[in-house]
Amino acid sequence: MADKVLVFSRFAKSMLARFGEKFELLETGGKPANEVFTADQLGEVRALMTMGAQPLGRETFDLLPSLGAVVCYGTGYDGVDLKAAAERGLVIGNSPAANASAVADLAMTLLLALMRRVIPADAYLRSGGWSGAKPSPLLKPPRGMTGAKVGVYGMGEIGRKIAARVAAFETEVAYHSRSRHDVPYRYVGDLGELVDWCDVLLIAVRAGPDTQRIIDASMLKRLGRDGVLINISRGSVIDQPALVAALADGTIAGAGLDVFEQEPYAPDALSELPNVVLTPHIGGHTLDAHVAMQDCVIANLSAFFAGRELPYKVE
């Protein structure tokens, strides 16, 4: 009997094909597991594979009496009810750092695209604005990266990689995190002080109850009207209605967002704004990152079914 894995989130077919070679997959297609499978089928499931941001707790655990492991695809596991998992003695795995480079690259992509106004620039050319000498959306020169004060919030693997990249653009980098790290950037012990100081705030902190909506209206005011905000972490870190208001009334200058309070994000006031760049949670969406994350998932599941410790375990 092949080892049975409940596929709790939706994954690309090509990805599931690779897992399917090693495990027997029970795909829910995003529906509650008991609508798709019988109690007998679910009774044989010992491991579950999920996207870390997707809510997962008692309701699902109750359907899976033999469940022993929850394996998250990606770095995050903020959707998993850790308390409920601990009560049942479940082990939790993730794919730490496997996508860090890709996510850091996307943070830089959002920042540069926003600062240099690539989206309106490209539209201006394609529509004939430049050749027709129409009023340019780029008339007023933007401030460049040179000398910009960049604050990185969070100094895990992703924060570190963001800092290394942004420092190469002749910027001044400082960071805030719960504790000081051995990195060549100035540590600021208070998040608000970092926000007061910086022109660019890059959010790379791990999402959790302690960071819930920590970037609120008052923080945005402190970021200031020349300030820009980039978030590739989780939407929950920002008070999104406050952000939309701050972008609309000029409290801050702009934002680049790969993550949202509700995903998949549905167009609202945010998508009407010209001073934002929006991407559909594609931070870890590169070929390299996917292969690395898949490797972590396979290693975790293989170890679990072999009765060994998970190599990429959430403590």
Catalytic residue among 117, 160, 165, 234: 234
| 175 contributes a contact to its own copies by CB under 8 A | no
| 290 contributes a contact to its own copies by CB under 8 A | yes
Catalytic residue among 263, 272, 285, 290: 263
| 125 contributes a contact to its own copies by CB under 8 A | yes
Q: Within 237-276, which residues bind its own copies (CB under 8 A)?
A: 263-267, 271
263 annotated active-site: yes
The least distance separating its own copies from the CB of residue 252, rounded to whole angstroms, comes to 18
- By C-beta, is 192 or 280 nearer to its own copies? 280
281 annotated active-site: yes
18 annotated active-site: no
- By C-beta, is 138 or 174 nearer to its own copies? 138
The least distance separating its own copies from the CB of residue 139, rounded to whole angstroms, comes to 7
Helix 157-167 and helix 100-115: axis angle, to 10°? 40
Q: In what order do the strands lie in the sheet with 24-27?
A: 24-27, 4-7, 47-51, 69-73, 91-93
DSSP string computed for the chain: -PPEEEE-S---HHHHHHHHTTSEEEE-TTS-HHHHS-HHHHHT--EEEEETTS-B-HHHHTT-TT--EEEEESS--TTB-HHHHHHTT-EEE--TTTTHHHHHHHHHHHHHHHHTTHHHHHHHHHTTTTTTTPPPTT-SPPP-STT-EEEEE--SHHHHHHHHHHHTTT-EEEEE-SS--SSSSEE-S-HHHHHHH-SEEEE-PPPSGGGTT-B-HHHHHHH-TT-EEEE-S-GGGB-HHHHHHHHHTTSSSEEEES--SSSSPPPSGGGG-SSEEE-SS-TT-SHHHHHHHHHHHHHHHHHHHTTPPPSSB--
| 168 contributes a contact to its own copies by CB under 8 A | yes
| 183 contributes a contact to its own copies by CB under 8 A | no
| 187 contributes a contact to its own copies by CB under 8 A | no
Catalytic residue among 44, 281, 285, 308: 281
Q: Within 127-146, which residues bind its own copies (CB under 8 A)?
A: 127-131, 133, 136, 138-139, 141-146
Give the span between the Cα atoms of 248 and 246, in whole angstroms: 6
| 167 contributes a contact to its own copies by CB under 8 A | yes
> Of 78, 105, 157, 199, which one interacts with its own copies (CB under 8 A)?
105
| 119 contributes a contact to its own copies by CB under 8 A | yes
> Of 16, 36, 63, 112, which one interacts with its own copies (CB under 8 A)?
112
| 29 contributes a contact to its own copies by CB under 8 A | no
The least distance separating its own copies from the CB of residue 54, rounded to whole angstroms, comes to 15
**Active site positions, annotated:** 234, 263, 281
Binding residues for its own copies, rule: CB under 8 A, are 12, 101-102, 105-106, 108-110, 112-113, 115-116, 118-119, 121-122, 124-131, 133, 136, 138-139, 141-147, 164-165, 167-170, 263-267, 271, 277-280, 282, 285-290
